[in-house]
A and B are shown apart, each in its own frame.
Chain A
Amino acid sequence: MDETRITGMPPVEETAVPGADEIVLNMGPQHPSTHGVLRVKLRLDGEKIEGSECFIGYLHRGVEKIAEHRTYQQFAPYVDRMDYVAAVSNGLGYCEAVERLLGAEAPPRARVVRTILTELQRIASHLLWLGTHALDIGALTPVFYCLREREEILKIFEKYCGARLTTHAFRIGGLQYETYDGFEHDVKRFCDDFASKVDEYEQLLTGNRIWVGRTKGIGLLNSEQAIALGVTGPPLRASGVKWDIRKAMPYAAYDQYEFEIPTGKNGDTYDRYLVRMEEMRQSRRICLQAIENIPAGPIMAKVGKVLKPPPGEVYHAIEAPKGEIGYYVVSDGTTQPYRVRVRPPSFINLQALDTMVRGHLVADVVAIIGTLDIVLGEVDR
Protein backbone atom coordinates (compact mmCIF):
# COMPACT_ATOMS: atom_id res chain seq x y z
CA MET A 1 0.00 0.00 0.00
CA ASP A 2 1.16 3.50 -0.77
CA GLU A 3 2.74 4.81 2.41
CA THR A 4 1.55 8.34 1.81
CA ARG A 5 -2.08 7.45 1.57
CA ILE A 6 -4.06 8.75 4.48
CA THR A 7 -6.39 6.03 5.53
CA GLY A 8 -10.02 6.70 5.06
CA MET A 9 -9.71 9.83 2.99
CA PRO A 10 -12.47 10.17 0.48
CA PRO A 11 -10.98 9.88 -2.99
CA VAL A 12 -9.19 13.03 -4.09
CA GLU A 13 -8.96 14.01 -7.73
CA GLU A 14 -5.90 12.54 -9.35
CA THR A 15 -3.03 14.94 -9.85
CA ALA A 16 -1.07 15.06 -13.08
CA VAL A 17 1.54 12.64 -11.77
CA PRO A 18 -0.29 10.69 -9.11
CA GLY A 19 1.62 10.35 -5.90
CA ALA A 20 4.96 11.42 -7.33
CA ASP A 21 5.34 14.80 -5.66
CA GLU A 22 3.11 14.06 -2.75
CA ILE A 23 4.29 14.46 0.79
CA VAL A 24 2.48 14.00 4.05
CA LEU A 25 3.01 16.59 6.73
CA ASN A 26 1.93 16.29 10.32
CA MET A 27 0.87 19.53 11.88
CA GLY A 28 0.56 19.32 15.63
CA PRO A 29 -0.34 18.07 18.17
CA GLN A 30 2.21 20.48 19.60
CA HIS A 31 1.78 23.35 17.18
CA PRO A 32 1.14 26.85 18.51
CA SER A 33 -1.57 27.67 16.01
CA THR A 34 -3.73 24.65 16.77
CA HIS A 35 -4.92 26.28 20.01
CA GLY A 36 -4.49 23.17 22.05
CA VAL A 37 -3.70 19.68 20.96
CA LEU A 38 -4.99 19.09 17.48
CA ARG A 39 -3.09 17.04 14.97
CA VAL A 40 -3.78 17.60 11.31
CA LYS A 41 -2.30 15.30 8.72
CA LEU A 42 -1.88 17.23 5.50
CA ARG A 43 -1.38 15.67 2.12
CA LEU A 44 0.62 18.10 0.04
CA ASP A 45 1.58 18.61 -3.54
CA GLY A 46 4.37 21.11 -3.20
CA GLU A 47 2.79 23.62 -0.90
CA LYS A 48 -0.75 23.00 -2.09
CA ILE A 49 -3.06 20.99 0.14
CA GLU A 50 -4.69 18.01 -1.51
CA GLY A 51 -6.40 16.61 1.53
CA SER A 52 -6.33 16.58 5.28
CA GLU A 53 -7.38 14.53 8.23
CA CYS A 54 -7.81 15.60 11.83
CA PHE A 55 -6.73 13.50 14.78
CA ILE A 56 -8.42 14.53 17.98
CA GLY A 57 -9.11 13.13 21.39
CA TYR A 58 -5.93 14.18 23.21
CA LEU A 59 -8.02 16.01 25.80
CA HIS A 60 -10.78 13.44 26.11
CA ARG A 61 -11.96 13.24 29.70
CA GLY A 62 -15.20 11.37 29.32
CA VAL A 63 -17.45 14.20 30.41
CA GLU A 64 -20.58 12.39 29.25
CA LYS A 65 -19.67 9.32 31.30
CA ILE A 66 -18.98 11.44 34.38
CA ALA A 67 -22.45 13.00 34.03
CA GLU A 68 -24.10 9.62 34.53
CA HIS A 69 -22.39 9.27 37.90
CA ARG A 70 -23.16 12.71 39.33
CA THR A 71 -26.36 14.37 40.39
CA TYR A 72 -27.81 17.05 38.14
CA GLN A 73 -26.32 19.85 40.26
CA GLN A 74 -22.96 18.16 40.70
CA PHE A 75 -22.47 17.91 36.97
CA ALA A 76 -23.00 21.64 36.34
CA PRO A 77 -19.38 22.71 37.05
CA TYR A 78 -18.07 20.08 34.64
CA VAL A 79 -19.65 21.75 31.62
CA ASP A 80 -17.53 24.85 32.27
CA ARG A 81 -14.47 22.80 31.52
CA MET A 82 -15.44 21.95 27.97
CA ASP A 83 -15.30 25.31 26.27
CA TYR A 84 -13.22 26.87 28.99
CA VAL A 85 -13.09 30.28 27.36
CA ALA A 86 -16.89 30.52 27.27
CA ALA A 87 -17.87 28.75 30.48
CA VAL A 88 -20.85 30.97 31.16
CA SER A 89 -22.53 30.00 27.87
CA ASN A 90 -21.98 26.30 28.52
CA GLY A 91 -23.49 26.64 31.96
CA LEU A 92 -26.52 28.49 30.65
CA GLY A 93 -27.26 25.73 28.13
CA TYR A 94 -27.00 23.00 30.72
CA CYS A 95 -29.04 24.77 33.39
CA GLU A 96 -31.81 25.59 30.93
CA ALA A 97 -31.86 22.04 29.61
CA VAL A 98 -32.35 20.61 33.10
CA GLU A 99 -34.92 23.28 33.93
CA ARG A 100 -36.85 22.27 30.85
CA LEU A 101 -36.63 18.66 31.94
CA LEU A 102 -38.01 19.63 35.34
CA GLY A 103 -40.68 21.84 33.84
CA ALA A 104 -39.31 24.80 35.81
CA GLU A 105 -38.40 28.24 34.65
CA ALA A 106 -35.92 30.70 36.06
CA PRO A 107 -37.48 33.92 37.43
CA PRO A 108 -37.33 37.06 35.23
CA ARG A 109 -34.55 38.70 37.22
CA ALA A 110 -32.34 35.62 36.89
CA ARG A 111 -33.01 35.44 33.17
CA VAL A 112 -31.95 39.02 32.57
CA VAL A 113 -28.77 38.65 34.63
CA ARG A 114 -28.03 35.43 32.74
CA THR A 115 -28.44 37.26 29.45
CA ILE A 116 -26.04 40.02 30.48
CA LEU A 117 -23.36 37.63 31.68
CA THR A 118 -23.72 35.39 28.61
CA GLU A 119 -23.36 38.32 26.25
CA LEU A 120 -20.30 39.56 28.13
CA GLN A 121 -18.94 36.06 27.76
CA ARG A 122 -19.58 36.16 24.03
CA ILE A 123 -17.57 39.36 23.78
CA ALA A 124 -14.77 37.84 25.89
CA SER A 125 -14.70 34.71 23.74
CA HIS A 126 -14.66 36.67 20.50
CA LEU A 127 -11.90 38.92 21.87
CA LEU A 128 -9.71 35.95 22.65
CA TRP A 129 -10.45 34.57 19.20
CA LEU A 130 -9.59 37.86 17.51
CA GLY A 131 -6.36 38.28 19.41
CA THR A 132 -5.04 34.79 18.79
CA HIS A 133 -6.32 34.62 15.21
CA ALA A 134 -4.55 37.89 14.36
CA LEU A 135 -1.45 36.67 16.15
CA ASP A 136 -1.46 33.45 14.13
CA ILE A 137 -1.62 35.40 10.91
CA GLY A 138 1.16 37.73 12.00
CA ALA A 139 -0.49 40.81 13.44
CA LEU A 140 1.07 41.17 16.84
CA THR A 141 -0.71 44.22 18.18
CA PRO A 142 -4.40 43.22 18.45
CA VAL A 143 -3.80 40.49 21.01
CA PHE A 144 -2.67 43.02 23.61
CA TYR A 145 -5.68 45.23 23.03
CA CYS A 146 -8.07 42.27 23.05
CA LEU A 147 -6.73 40.80 26.27
CA ARG A 148 -6.90 44.23 27.88
CA GLU A 149 -10.63 44.49 27.22
CA ARG A 150 -11.23 40.84 28.03
CA GLU A 151 -9.63 41.44 31.40
CA GLU A 152 -12.37 43.95 32.25
CA ILE A 153 -15.02 41.33 31.54
CA LEU A 154 -13.21 38.72 33.61
CA LYS A 155 -13.06 41.22 36.46
CA ILE A 156 -16.84 41.57 36.34
CA PHE A 157 -17.14 37.77 36.46
CA GLU A 158 -14.73 37.61 39.35
CA LYS A 159 -16.64 40.23 41.29
CA TYR A 160 -19.89 38.46 40.57
CA CYS A 161 -19.00 34.87 41.40
CA GLY A 162 -15.35 34.74 42.42
CA ALA A 163 -14.06 32.95 39.34
CA ARG A 164 -12.72 34.26 36.08
CA LEU A 165 -12.72 31.32 33.70
CA THR A 166 -14.63 28.33 34.98
CA THR A 167 -17.28 30.45 36.57
CA HIS A 168 -20.16 28.09 37.39
CA ALA A 169 -22.14 31.32 37.40
CA PHE A 170 -25.63 29.83 37.15
CA ARG A 171 -27.56 27.22 39.06
CA ILE A 172 -30.38 25.00 37.93
CA GLY A 173 -33.45 27.13 38.60
CA GLY A 174 -31.78 30.52 38.52
CA LEU A 175 -28.75 32.09 40.14
CA GLN A 176 -26.76 31.34 43.23
CA TYR A 177 -25.70 34.93 43.86
CA GLU A 178 -27.43 38.26 43.78
CA THR A 179 -25.61 40.81 41.66
CA TYR A 180 -23.07 42.84 43.61
CA ASP A 181 -23.43 46.57 44.31
CA GLY A 182 -22.27 48.45 41.28
CA PHE A 183 -22.81 45.57 38.82
CA GLU A 184 -24.86 47.71 36.45
CA HIS A 185 -22.30 50.47 36.73
CA ASP A 186 -19.42 48.14 35.85
CA VAL A 187 -21.24 46.67 32.87
CA LYS A 188 -22.27 50.11 31.66
CA ARG A 189 -18.76 51.46 31.97
CA PHE A 190 -17.37 48.53 30.05
CA CYS A 191 -19.98 48.91 27.31
CA ASP A 192 -19.40 52.66 27.02
CA ASP A 193 -15.67 52.17 26.61
CA PHE A 194 -16.00 49.17 24.36
CA ALA A 195 -17.70 50.87 21.40
CA SER A 196 -14.58 52.80 20.44
CA LYS A 197 -12.39 49.76 21.15
CA VAL A 198 -14.05 47.65 18.46
CA ASP A 199 -13.53 50.48 16.00
CA GLU A 200 -9.91 50.54 17.06
CA TYR A 201 -9.45 46.83 16.25
CA GLU A 202 -11.14 47.35 12.93
CA GLN A 203 -8.82 50.24 12.19
CA LEU A 204 -5.89 47.93 12.71
CA LEU A 205 -7.19 45.07 10.60
CA THR A 206 -10.18 45.68 8.33
CA GLY A 207 -8.37 47.74 5.73
CA ASN A 208 -4.92 46.33 6.41
CA ARG A 209 -3.53 45.01 3.14
CA ILE A 210 -1.71 42.09 4.71
CA TRP A 211 -4.78 41.10 6.72
CA VAL A 212 -7.04 41.30 3.68
CA GLY A 213 -4.52 39.38 1.60
CA ARG A 214 -4.29 36.62 4.19
CA THR A 215 -8.03 36.27 4.80
CA LYS A 216 -10.02 37.21 1.69
CA GLY A 217 -10.99 34.21 -0.39
CA ILE A 218 -9.36 31.83 2.10
CA GLY A 219 -11.27 28.85 3.47
CA LEU A 220 -14.38 29.24 1.38
CA LEU A 221 -17.54 27.59 2.62
CA ASN A 222 -20.82 28.25 0.82
CA SER A 223 -24.16 28.00 2.55
CA GLU A 224 -25.07 24.56 1.15
CA GLN A 225 -21.75 23.10 2.28
CA ALA A 226 -22.05 24.74 5.68
CA ILE A 227 -25.54 23.34 6.29
CA ALA A 228 -24.63 19.89 4.99
CA LEU A 229 -21.63 19.77 7.32
CA GLY A 230 -23.71 20.91 10.29
CA VAL A 231 -21.67 24.10 10.73
CA THR A 232 -23.33 26.60 13.07
CA GLY A 233 -22.53 29.92 14.68
CA PRO A 234 -20.49 32.69 13.06
CA PRO A 235 -19.09 30.43 10.29
CA LEU A 236 -22.64 29.60 9.17
CA ARG A 237 -23.72 33.23 9.26
CA ALA A 238 -20.62 34.31 7.34
CA SER A 239 -21.76 31.92 4.60
CA GLY A 240 -24.94 33.94 4.29
CA VAL A 241 -27.41 31.99 6.41
CA LYS A 242 -29.22 34.38 8.70
CA TRP A 243 -29.80 32.04 11.58
CA ASP A 244 -29.18 32.62 15.23
CA ILE A 245 -30.85 30.56 17.95
CA ARG A 246 -31.22 33.70 20.05
CA LYS A 247 -33.73 34.90 17.44
CA ALA A 248 -35.04 31.62 16.05
CA MET A 249 -35.84 29.97 19.37
CA PRO A 250 -35.33 32.61 22.04
CA TYR A 251 -34.18 31.52 25.50
CA ALA A 252 -33.15 33.44 28.63
CA ALA A 253 -34.42 36.98 28.02
CA TYR A 254 -33.39 37.47 24.40
CA ASP A 255 -36.93 38.00 23.17
CA GLN A 256 -37.01 41.34 25.02
CA TYR A 257 -34.07 42.95 23.27
CA GLU A 258 -33.36 44.34 19.87
CA PHE A 259 -30.32 43.22 17.98
CA GLU A 260 -29.29 42.37 14.45
CA ILE A 261 -27.90 39.13 13.09
CA PRO A 262 -24.85 40.02 11.00
CA THR A 263 -24.23 37.85 7.95
CA GLY A 264 -21.52 37.56 5.34
CA LYS A 265 -21.68 36.94 1.63
CA ASN A 266 -18.65 34.99 0.56
CA GLY A 267 -18.13 32.58 3.45
CA ASP A 268 -14.40 33.26 3.58
CA THR A 269 -12.12 33.99 6.51
CA TYR A 270 -12.53 37.73 6.04
CA ASP A 271 -16.32 37.52 6.25
CA ARG A 272 -16.15 35.39 9.37
CA TYR A 273 -13.93 38.06 10.87
CA LEU A 274 -16.43 40.80 9.99
CA VAL A 275 -19.36 38.79 11.34
CA ARG A 276 -17.69 38.30 14.70
CA MET A 277 -16.71 41.96 14.92
CA GLU A 278 -20.32 42.97 14.36
CA GLU A 279 -21.52 40.35 16.85
CA MET A 280 -19.42 41.99 19.54
CA ARG A 281 -21.16 45.30 18.83
CA GLN A 282 -24.56 43.62 18.96
CA SER A 283 -23.70 41.89 22.25
CA ARG A 284 -22.76 45.25 23.66
CA ARG A 285 -26.13 46.58 22.50
CA ILE A 286 -27.95 43.75 24.27
CA CYS A 287 -26.01 44.36 27.49
CA LEU A 288 -26.85 48.06 27.43
CA GLN A 289 -30.55 47.37 26.93
CA ALA A 290 -30.57 44.73 29.64
CA ILE A 291 -28.91 46.74 32.40
CA GLU A 292 -31.41 49.57 31.85
CA ASN A 293 -34.10 47.47 33.38
CA ILE A 294 -33.20 44.47 35.49
CA PRO A 295 -36.49 43.39 37.06
CA ALA A 296 -36.64 43.03 40.81
CA GLY A 297 -37.69 39.79 42.42
CA PRO A 298 -36.35 36.39 43.38
CA ILE A 299 -33.32 34.91 41.62
CA MET A 300 -34.13 31.26 42.20
CA ALA A 301 -37.17 29.28 41.13
CA LYS A 302 -38.57 26.74 43.56
CA VAL A 303 -36.87 23.60 42.32
CA GLY A 304 -36.02 21.94 45.61
CA LYS A 305 -32.68 20.71 46.90
CA VAL A 306 -32.97 17.21 45.45
CA LEU A 307 -33.69 17.24 41.76
CA LYS A 308 -35.65 14.32 40.41
CA PRO A 309 -36.90 15.19 36.96
CA PRO A 310 -39.77 13.01 35.75
CA PRO A 311 -38.65 10.34 33.27
CA GLY A 312 -38.27 11.67 29.79
CA GLU A 313 -35.83 13.54 27.67
CA VAL A 314 -35.10 16.97 26.34
CA TYR A 315 -32.84 18.55 23.74
CA HIS A 316 -32.03 22.14 24.46
CA ALA A 317 -29.68 24.24 22.36
CA ILE A 318 -28.40 27.76 22.77
CA GLU A 319 -26.26 30.05 20.67
CA ALA A 320 -22.81 29.82 22.24
CA PRO A 321 -20.03 32.07 20.91
CA LYS A 322 -18.82 29.20 18.74
CA GLY A 323 -22.15 27.92 17.50
CA GLU A 324 -25.02 25.76 18.62
CA ILE A 325 -24.29 24.05 21.91
CA GLY A 326 -26.97 21.50 22.62
CA TYR A 327 -27.68 19.30 25.61
CA TYR A 328 -29.63 16.12 25.18
CA VAL A 329 -30.55 15.01 28.68
CA VAL A 330 -32.37 11.77 29.41
CA SER A 331 -33.90 11.25 32.83
CA ASP A 332 -34.99 7.95 34.35
CA GLY A 333 -36.60 9.65 37.33
CA THR A 334 -33.61 9.41 39.68
CA THR A 335 -31.32 12.13 40.98
CA GLN A 336 -28.66 11.33 38.39
CA PRO A 337 -29.08 11.86 34.67
CA TYR A 338 -29.42 8.64 32.71
CA ARG A 339 -27.55 10.15 29.79
CA VAL A 340 -26.18 13.59 28.98
CA ARG A 341 -25.07 14.22 25.46
CA VAL A 342 -23.34 17.47 24.61
CA ARG A 343 -23.55 18.68 21.07
CA PRO A 344 -20.27 20.54 20.87
CA PRO A 345 -20.10 23.30 18.25
CA SER A 346 -16.30 23.15 17.99
CA PHE A 347 -16.29 19.42 17.23
CA ILE A 348 -18.79 19.71 14.44
CA ASN A 349 -17.37 22.92 12.97
CA LEU A 350 -13.92 21.34 12.92
CA GLN A 351 -15.30 18.67 10.63
CA ALA A 352 -15.51 21.33 7.91
CA LEU A 353 -11.75 21.92 8.05
CA ASP A 354 -11.02 19.39 5.31
CA THR A 355 -13.45 21.05 2.89
CA MET A 356 -12.04 24.46 3.69
CA VAL A 357 -8.31 23.78 3.39
CA ARG A 358 -8.28 21.91 0.09
CA GLY A 359 -6.50 23.81 -2.62
CA HIS A 360 -4.96 26.30 -0.23
CA LEU A 361 -1.37 26.63 0.99
CA VAL A 362 0.11 25.37 4.23
CA ALA A 363 0.23 28.86 5.71
CA ASP A 364 -3.52 29.20 5.15
CA VAL A 365 -4.24 26.20 7.37
CA VAL A 366 -3.22 28.36 10.31
CA ALA A 367 -5.69 31.05 9.24
CA ILE A 368 -8.47 28.52 8.69
CA ILE A 369 -8.04 26.76 12.02
CA GLY A 370 -8.10 30.20 13.62
CA THR A 371 -11.23 31.30 11.80
CA LEU A 372 -13.17 28.21 12.91
CA ASP A 373 -12.62 29.33 16.51
CA ILE A 374 -12.33 25.89 18.06
CA VAL A 375 -11.49 25.02 21.61
CA LEU A 376 -10.00 21.58 21.92
CA GLY A 377 -11.38 21.06 25.40
CA GLU A 378 -14.80 21.11 23.81
CA VAL A 379 -13.84 19.10 20.74
CA ASP A 380 -12.55 16.23 22.88
CA ARG A 381 -14.71 16.62 25.99
Chain B
Amino acid sequence: MKRFRQRFGEAIREAWLDRKQAMLVVDAAQFQAIALYARDDEKFNLLSDLTAVDWPKREKRFEVVLQLYSFAKNERLRLKCAAGEREAVPSVTGVWPAANWMERECYDMFGIVFEGHPDLKRILLPDEWQGYPLRKDYDILQQDEAWVRENLGIESGQ
Protein backbone atom coordinates (compact mmCIF):
# COMPACT_ATOMS: atom_id res chain seq x y z
CA MET B 1 0.00 0.00 0.00
CA LYS B 2 2.78 2.35 0.93
CA ARG B 3 4.48 1.66 -2.36
CA PHE B 4 1.29 2.44 -4.24
CA ARG B 5 1.02 5.72 -2.33
CA GLN B 6 4.63 6.66 -3.03
CA ARG B 7 4.30 5.90 -6.68
CA PHE B 8 0.93 7.45 -7.43
CA GLY B 9 0.44 9.96 -4.63
CA GLU B 10 -2.91 11.68 -4.92
CA ALA B 11 -4.29 9.15 -7.39
CA ILE B 12 -4.67 6.74 -4.46
CA ARG B 13 -7.70 8.34 -2.86
CA GLU B 14 -8.04 6.00 0.07
CA ALA B 15 -6.41 2.86 1.37
CA TRP B 16 -7.55 0.75 4.29
CA LEU B 17 -8.04 -2.71 5.68
CA ASP B 18 -11.46 -4.21 6.26
CA ARG B 19 -11.52 -7.57 8.05
CA LYS B 20 -7.82 -7.94 7.26
CA GLN B 21 -8.41 -7.44 3.53
CA ALA B 22 -6.53 -4.64 1.81
CA MET B 23 -8.20 -2.24 -0.58
CA LEU B 24 -7.33 0.85 -2.53
CA VAL B 25 -9.67 3.44 -3.98
CA VAL B 26 -8.01 4.90 -7.03
CA ASP B 27 -8.55 7.73 -9.45
CA ALA B 28 -10.20 6.82 -12.75
CA ALA B 29 -7.67 8.86 -14.72
CA GLN B 30 -4.79 6.77 -13.38
CA PHE B 31 -6.73 3.49 -13.26
CA GLN B 32 -4.93 1.75 -16.10
CA ALA B 33 -1.49 2.87 -14.98
CA ILE B 34 -2.18 1.61 -11.47
CA ALA B 35 -3.52 -1.68 -12.83
CA LEU B 36 -0.37 -2.17 -14.90
CA TYR B 37 1.81 -1.33 -11.93
CA ALA B 38 -0.13 -3.80 -9.76
CA ARG B 39 0.33 -6.53 -12.33
CA ASP B 40 3.96 -5.99 -13.29
CA ASP B 41 5.68 -4.51 -10.25
CA GLU B 42 3.53 -5.84 -7.45
CA LYS B 43 2.93 -9.21 -9.20
CA PHE B 44 -0.83 -9.25 -8.89
CA ASN B 45 -1.07 -11.29 -12.06
CA LEU B 46 -4.45 -12.95 -11.52
CA LEU B 47 -7.62 -10.95 -11.85
CA SER B 48 -10.00 -13.00 -9.74
CA ASP B 49 -13.06 -10.90 -10.17
CA LEU B 50 -14.36 -7.64 -11.51
CA THR B 51 -17.73 -6.31 -10.51
CA ALA B 52 -19.54 -3.18 -9.39
CA VAL B 53 -21.67 -1.90 -6.55
CA ASP B 54 -24.38 0.70 -6.97
CA TRP B 55 -24.59 3.47 -4.34
CA PRO B 56 -27.30 5.77 -5.73
CA LYS B 57 -26.87 8.37 -2.97
CA ARG B 58 -23.21 8.98 -3.61
CA GLU B 59 -22.02 11.69 -5.91
CA LYS B 60 -20.53 9.05 -8.18
CA ARG B 61 -23.00 6.23 -7.90
CA PHE B 62 -20.99 3.26 -9.16
CA GLU B 63 -18.00 1.62 -7.64
CA VAL B 64 -16.10 -0.78 -9.88
CA VAL B 65 -14.39 -3.42 -7.74
CA LEU B 66 -11.48 -5.62 -8.79
CA GLN B 67 -10.22 -8.57 -6.77
CA LEU B 68 -6.58 -9.26 -7.52
CA TYR B 69 -4.41 -12.13 -6.47
CA SER B 70 -0.64 -12.53 -6.48
CA PHE B 71 0.77 -16.04 -6.82
CA ALA B 72 4.23 -14.83 -5.81
CA LYS B 73 3.09 -13.22 -2.55
CA ASN B 74 -0.03 -15.29 -1.90
CA GLU B 75 -1.93 -12.07 -1.24
CA ARG B 76 -5.14 -10.51 -2.34
CA LEU B 77 -5.77 -6.87 -3.10
CA ARG B 78 -8.98 -5.04 -3.89
CA LEU B 79 -8.91 -2.11 -6.29
CA LYS B 80 -11.84 0.25 -6.48
CA CYS B 81 -12.69 3.04 -8.83
CA ALA B 82 -15.71 5.31 -8.62
CA ALA B 83 -17.75 6.23 -11.68
CA GLY B 84 -20.69 8.56 -12.23
CA GLU B 85 -23.81 7.56 -14.12
CA ARG B 86 -22.58 8.75 -17.49
CA GLU B 87 -18.89 8.34 -16.91
CA ALA B 88 -16.82 5.71 -18.63
CA VAL B 89 -14.26 3.64 -16.75
CA PRO B 90 -11.03 2.68 -18.49
CA SER B 91 -11.09 -0.97 -19.48
CA VAL B 92 -8.45 -3.29 -18.00
CA THR B 93 -8.81 -5.95 -20.70
CA GLY B 94 -5.37 -4.92 -21.93
CA VAL B 95 -3.89 -5.65 -18.53
CA TRP B 96 -5.81 -8.83 -17.66
CA PRO B 97 -7.58 -10.43 -20.65
CA ALA B 98 -9.81 -12.17 -18.09
CA ALA B 99 -11.60 -8.86 -17.62
CA ASN B 100 -13.32 -9.21 -20.99
CA TRP B 101 -16.44 -11.11 -19.94
CA MET B 102 -16.50 -9.60 -16.46
CA GLU B 103 -16.65 -6.08 -17.87
CA ARG B 104 -19.35 -7.17 -20.26
CA GLU B 105 -21.35 -8.55 -17.36
CA CYS B 106 -20.82 -5.30 -15.48
CA TYR B 107 -22.09 -3.34 -18.46
CA ASP B 108 -25.02 -5.73 -18.80
CA MET B 109 -26.07 -5.43 -15.17
CA PHE B 110 -25.17 -1.83 -14.32
CA GLY B 111 -24.77 -0.01 -17.63
CA ILE B 112 -21.22 1.00 -16.83
CA VAL B 113 -19.27 1.75 -20.01
CA PHE B 114 -15.71 0.48 -20.14
CA GLU B 115 -13.65 2.59 -22.45
CA GLY B 116 -11.32 0.60 -24.66
CA HIS B 117 -13.14 -2.72 -24.30
CA PRO B 118 -12.84 -4.66 -27.59
CA ASP B 119 -16.48 -5.73 -27.73
CA LEU B 120 -18.69 -4.19 -25.09
CA LYS B 121 -22.17 -5.69 -25.35
CA ARG B 122 -24.61 -7.55 -23.16
CA ILE B 123 -23.61 -11.04 -22.15
CA LEU B 124 -26.28 -12.63 -19.96
CA LEU B 125 -29.37 -10.69 -21.01
CA PRO B 126 -30.66 -10.47 -24.60
CA ASP B 127 -28.97 -7.78 -26.70
CA GLU B 128 -32.18 -5.74 -27.08
CA TRP B 129 -33.05 -5.71 -23.37
CA GLN B 130 -33.77 -2.29 -21.89
CA GLY B 131 -32.60 -1.41 -18.40
CA TYR B 132 -29.85 -2.54 -16.06
CA PRO B 133 -31.14 -5.02 -13.46
CA LEU B 134 -28.54 -4.72 -10.72
CA ARG B 135 -29.04 -0.99 -10.30
CA LYS B 136 -30.74 -0.19 -7.03
CA ASP B 137 -33.57 1.68 -8.77
CA TYR B 138 -34.46 -1.38 -10.86
CA ASP B 139 -37.18 -3.17 -8.94
CA ILE B 140 -36.86 -6.90 -8.41
CA LEU B 141 -40.16 -7.52 -10.20
CA GLN B 142 -39.36 -5.12 -13.00
CA GLN B 143 -38.54 -6.46 -16.45
CA ASP B 144 -38.50 -5.38 -20.04
CA GLU B 145 -42.21 -6.00 -20.70
CA ALA B 146 -41.99 -5.16 -24.39
CA TRP B 147 -39.17 -7.62 -24.95
CA VAL B 148 -40.95 -10.40 -23.08
CA ARG B 149 -44.19 -9.81 -25.02
CA GLU B 150 -42.45 -9.69 -28.37
CA ASN B 151 -40.04 -12.59 -27.96
CA LEU B 152 -41.77 -14.96 -25.60
CA GLY B 153 -45.34 -14.19 -26.66
CA ILE B 154 -46.59 -13.84 -23.09
CA GLU B 155 -47.80 -10.87 -21.12
CA SER B 156 -45.43 -11.28 -18.22
CA GLY B 157 -42.60 -13.53 -17.25
CA GLN B 158 -43.73 -13.65 -13.64
Contacts and interface: CB of A to CB of B under 8 A. Distances in A.
B101 A351 contact: yes
Interface stretch (B2-10, B92-100, B146-154): B92-100
Nearest to B124: A57
B102 A348 contact: yes
A60 B125 contact: yes
Contacts of B46: 227, 230, 232
Interface in B98-149: 98, 100-102, 109, 118-119, 121-126, 133-134, 138, 140
Nearest to A248: B74
B32 interface: no
Contact of A56 (B74, B109, B124, B138): B124
Interface string A1-20: 00000011110000000000
Contacts of A241: 71
Contacts of B81: none
B60 interface: no
B41 interface: no
Interface string A87-112: 00000000000001101000000000
Most buried by A among B21, B118, B124, B140: B124
B19 A326 contact: no
Contacts of B134: 64-65
A228 B19 contact: no
Interface stretch (A23-31, A33-41, A197-205, A338-346): A338-346
B133 A62 contact: yes
Nearest to B19: A314
B49 A315 contact: yes
B21 A328 contact: no
A228 B98 contact: yes
B74 A8 contact: no
A243 interface: yes
Interface string A47-82: 000000000110010101110110000000000000
13 contacts: A7-B119, A8-B119, A9-B119, A57-B122, A57-B123, A57-B125, A228-B96, A230-B46, A230-B47, A315-B67, A326-B48, A328-B49, A343-B49
Given A9-B119, A57-B125, 7 more contacts: A7-B119, A65-B138, A228-B97, A232-B48, A249-B74, A312-B18, A326-B67
